[in-house]
Structure 1
Amino acid sequence: MSNQILLWSMLVVPWLSLFFMNKEDLKRYMPVGVLAVATSVIIGDVGSSLGFWIVRETAYPLYHIMPFNIGLNLALTMWVFKFSYHQFWLYMITNAVLDLSFNFFLFQFILSSRGIFHLVNISPFQSFLITTTHALLLYGYQKWQEGIFMRSVSPASSQYLQPALAKPLPQDRAENGLKNENDE
């Protein structure tokens, strides 16, 4: 298998898995997935600039962005949140297992042996610490995001409120046999 097929499969196949996630979960976890992509791209760029790793090949036409960040990282982040959110320790254990497998297996053996990606001035364990910190940041963001939506959808305070356009006009109320507020 060529490197381009491997890289493009790491980009496209995870996105296809999102067709199996229901619509509500997609809407709920897409913001944290997008944040995971954005921060992973920044971490990857900073790591390349500091000489922590070298990206020798990416999926054409991407230049220094690993397809892993755009495809696999986004989809896995959303699936991990779907199955382990609200259970912090399960989330952290799941992320630790995935991060260990990526840092010690995918990065160190598969991508390195193919000449795609090399860790240079950083050990796989140090890379694991970076990805664990990244996972904590994403969990904190999702907690914050959930708090915003929970406050804005408070049905107890606005149970009987209606938009002005939904209220019947006084002449409509009289035609339907309803009393106006002034008729008492």
Structure 2
Amino acid sequence: MKQIILWSLLILPWASLLFLKMNTVRRYMPVALFMTVIHTLAYQAAYHYGWWKETGSSLFGWDKVVPVPWVYGAYLVIVIWIFRFTFGKFWMYLTVNILLDGLFMYIVYPVWQRMGLVSSESTLSTIAIVAMMVGFAIIIYLYQLWQDEVFKQPKAKLINDQELT
């Protein structure tokens, strides 16, 4: 049963992208991948400094540090969906992130602990982890603002800039 849940966390979110326009996926995929890098680095730091351990969420045997189904499946796709509905409305974006991060850490994560999907070993308080997640959300929002600005440049200016290099 555990393997079915883990595979579902990896595959089903990706399938949900079929309900979005391809332009939307293209627009928000860079920020989702950026968040995946940040999340991967956070898990690496957590492993190194002993903040928490993710035992039980391994799908392949080699993914003991970073839970692949969550970071490269569900979380990556959730970022795209959240940006789809809230980008450009910062306070709504922030509110949604705080609510979802709190819901995950205070309700979903304890259920996953009881199911053996994640470990209960952590030296950080739950509120500290939620604060870290909200901090990451602010960083990626700023990144998406920058991305949108970069891709808004007129094509003539881009061509002229390329000719200079």
TM-score, normalisation: structure 2: 0.87
Instruction: Give the structure 2 partner of residue 96 of structure 1.
Output: 98
Unaligned runs of 5+ in 1: 159-184
How big is the shift at 1:111? 2.1
Structure 1 segment 100-119 matched on structure 2, within 5 A: 100-107=102-109, 109-115=110-116, 116-119=118-121
SS in 1 for 2:31: helix
Asked whether 1:21 is paired with 2:42, we answer no
Judge which range, 109-118 or 39-48, deviates more. 109-118
How big is the shift at 1:34? 0.7
In structure 2, distance between residues paired with 1:92 and 1:49? 29
Asked whether 1:59 is paired with 2:63, we answer no
Task: Give yes or no for contact 1:100–1:128 (8 Å, CA) kept in 2.
Answer: yes
Count of residues in Structure 1 that have an aligned counterpart in Structure 2: 154
Structure 1 segment 16-55 matched on structure 2, within 5 A: 16-55=15-54
Q: CA RMSD in A?
A: 1.7
Change (3 A) 1:62 1:22: farther
Q: Which has the larger radius of gyration?
A: 1
After superposing on structure 2, the runs of 4+ consecutive aligned residues of structure 1 that deviate more than 4 Å are: none
User: One-letter code of the match for 1:40?
Assistant: H
Instruction: Give the structure 1 partner of residue 125 of structure 2.
Output: 123
Unaligned runs of 5+ in 2: 159-165
SS in 2 for 1:71: helix
Instruction: Give the structure 2 partner of residue 142 of structure 1.
Output: 144
Structure 1 segment 147-158 matched on structure 2, within 5 A: 147-153=149-155
Instruction: Give the structure 2 partner of residue 4 of structure 1.
Output: 3
Structure 1 segment 62-73 matched on structure 2, within 5 A: 62-63=62-63, 64-66=65-67, 67-73=69-75
Change (3 A) 1:53 1:87: same
How big is the shift at 1:6? 1.4
In structure 1, distance between residues paired with 2:39 and 2:127? 17
Instruction: Give the structure 2 partner of residue 83 of structure 1.
Output: 85
In structure 2, distance between residues paired with 1:119 and 1:134? 22
Instruction: Give the structure 2 partner of residue 164 of structure 1.
Output: none
How big is the shift at 1:47? 1.1
How big is the shift at 1:119? 4.3
Judge which range, 45-54 or 135-144, deviates more. 45-54
In structure 2, distance between residues paired with 1:23 and 1:51? 40
In structure 1, distance between residues paired with 2:50 and 2:112? 17
Change (3 A) 1:84 1:132: same
In structure 2, distance between residues paired with 1:74 and 1:114? 23
